[in-house]
Amino acid sequence: MQQTASGRALTPGVGRRVIIAGGGYAGTTLAVKLAKGLKPGDDLEILLVEPNPCQQALSELDLVAVGPPRPDFCELWHPTVFKDLPVSICYNRIDSVRPDDKTVVLGPRGEGAEEVGYWRLVLATGAIAFVPPVPGLAEHAVTMWSVADAQELQRRIEEQFRSAIVLADRAERRRALSFVVVGAGATGMEIVGTLGQMLPKRARAFGLDPEDLSVHLVEGRPDILYDLPAPLREKVRRRLDKLGVVLHLGAMVERVDDGVVHLADGRELPAPVLCFCGGAKADPDAVAWGLPADPSGRLVVDGRNKIPDREDIYAIGDIAAFRDPSSNRTLPMLAQFAIHQAEHCAVNILAEARGREPEPFEPDMHGEFVSVGPTWGAGWMLKGMHLTGIPAIIMKRLTYVLYWWIVGGVPLAWKRTREMLKMFR
Ligand SMILES: Cc1cc2nc3c(=O)[nH]c(=O)nc-3n(C[C@H](O)[C@H](O)[C@H](O)COP(=O)(O)OP(=O)(O)OC[C@H]3O[C@@H](n4cnc5c(N)ncnc54)[C@H](O)[C@@H]3O)c2cc1C
């Protein structure tokens, strides 16, 4: 018999089972909203399938990527989030989906694989870092899509400081202290900004001269942060300049050798530490589930976030290719959309359980903020109000607080806000 996170038993065979695959922003929000929306008489059983016992809050990764080490900050423990809610958690993976049988297969294929039936299935398995087939890139670069990635970047920085401090020759030391980030989208910007702001302090603490550090940002397109309006991009470029980050725009990485990035125009950048933030792709396992996918591998959904012709399967978050009817563009992979889709999906599933029709989803972008270092940001809100510097970073961090409040109420929001504030002391 399965147990809820709070230990309550779920009676097999009673209730219509909603399986949520993936406990990231979308899956966790959905499980919380569904559980909180249940009324006496609703016969829904909520089963969250997620391989990790905690949600990795990816948008908070920049806070832990450069150190000092506090990797657990952006981990949100599911047992804590669901402790008083009727959500059953299964720390496993969805291996395959059998839509005709209304079942999913959990765990590794073969012996031990478990088939579980559903009344509604919600696919929220997210995305992974995308690394293009540039020679040497995958072998030498760290990506930024998990706490493990952030810890690996920290480890490499630490190791590099140790290698540099034993070198007597200044030129060699400078070569050893060259840090390269590839990709000037939001993720790359957050990492390079944090490197630019934090590394001098860390180098000094190590006994190194910050003058010997260099931080490079390589971008194939002619500008940074294409999603932001031009005046904000200009301000971010000035901020990078202030932090001493060297920008290489219109520069394509041709190959990577041990410790060196070779650009297509013939330039070479010493890169003993290289972080690749060049993009993401939808969970690659999903295309094997026999459901329609767009050319990028995201699952096609209709206006209600349902898979076409599969009334019992929803897909939300990064895995779903939701076409915004107002712009006719697919929604970008952003936590804010994952959360809104999840909230809407909860309302729709509860409506269906009570015999009503699901409503179309109407996405609305409330704003967008990027951090460029832990204490500076840039972005917009309220359909065009631009903010930079401290007000923008406060807005960005407030989006974290809002999320903690959505999934954990005031106690979680208060606890995490205090932890976050301690990090800036
Ligand atoms: C460094 C970084 C910074 C970002 N900053 C921002 C930001 O500031 N603002 C913003 O809006 N967005 C930001 N994003 C994007 C945002 O994090 C994603 O859009 C968001 O995580 C999508 O949520 P999701 O629930 O779809 O996927 P995820 O949060 O990625 O969750 C997917 C979950 O599915 C699980 N899973 C995968 N496969 C299976 C399987 N087969 N079975 C069961 N479970 C499975 C995974 O373990 C994971 O927990 C950032 C992303 C990164 C990497």
* Cα-to-centroid distance, 257 and ligand 1 (Å): 30
* b/e map 11-47, b = 16+ CB within 10 Å: eeeebebbbbbbbbbbbbbbbbbbbebeeeeeebbbb
Whether residue 157 sits in one domain with residue 250? yes
Q: What is the mean pLDDT of residues 134-161?
A: 93
pLDDT tens figures, 369-405: 999 998 999 999 987 899 999 999 999 999 989 999 9
Whether residue 147 sits in one domain with residue 271? yes
Ligand 1 atom at shortest distance from the alpha carbon of 56: 49
Q: Residue 286: inside a domain, yes or no?
A: yes
- Cis check for the bond before 68: say yes or no (omega within 30 of 0): yes
Q: What is the mean pLDDT of residues 328-332?
A: 93
318 CB near ligand 1 (under 6 Å): yes
Whether residue 373 sits in one domain with residue 359? no
Neighbour tally for 342: CB within 10 Å: 29
Neighbour tally for 391: CB within 10 Å: 13
Q: Which two tokens stand for residue 417?
A: 């806000």
Name the residue of 29, 59, 61, 396 to mutate for ligand 1: max ligand atoms within 8 A of Cβ: 59
Q: Residue 359: inside a domain, yes or no?
A: yes
Domain that holds residue 83: 16-127+281-365
pLDDT tens figures, 42-68: 999 999 999 998 888 787 787 777 766
If you take atom 13 of ligand 1, which residue's CA is the nearest one? 59
Q: Of the candidates 337, 365, 393, which is a domain's last residue?
A: 365
Q: What is the mean pLDDT of residues 406-413?
A: 92
Q: What is the pLDDT of residue 167?
A: 96
Model confidence, pTM? 0.92
25 CB near ligand 1 (under 6 Å): yes
Q: Residue 5: inside a domain, yes or no?
A: no
Whether residue 265 sits in one domain with residue 182? yes
Q: What is the pLDDT of residue 112?
A: 74
Q: Which two tokens stand for residue 89?
A: 């958690």
Name the residue of 33, 94, 334, 396 to mutate for ligand 1: max ligand atoms within 8 A of Cβ: 334
Q: Residue 3: inside a domain, yes or no?
A: no
Q: What is the mean pLDDT of residues 84-88?
A: 94
Domain count of the fold of the chain: 3
Whether residue 272 sits in one domain with residue 152? yes
If you take atom 38 of ligand 1, which residue's CA is the nearest one? 125
Whether residue 311 sits in one domain with residue 189? no
Whether residue 162 sits in one domain with residue 145? yes
If you take atom 50 of ligand 1, which residue's CA is the nearest one? 59
Q: Residue 373: inside a domain, yes or no?
A: yes
Q: How confident is the model at residue 9 (pLDDT cuts 50, 70, 90)?
A: very low
If you take atom 8 of ligand 1, which residue's CA is the nearest one? 59
Whether residue 38 sits in one domain with residue 24? yes
Whether residue 228 sits in one domain with residue 259? yes
Q: What is the pLDDT of residue 226?
A: 87
Whether residue 306 sits in one domain with residue 183? no
Q: Residue 7: inside a domain, yes or no?
A: no
CATH code assigned at 167: 3.50.50.60
* Cα-to-centroid distance, 161 and ligand 1 (Å): 31
Q: How confident is the model at residue 285 (pLDDT cuts 50, 70, 90)?
A: very high
Whether residue 41 sits in one domain with residue 113? yes
Q: Residue 175: inside a domain, yes or no?
A: yes
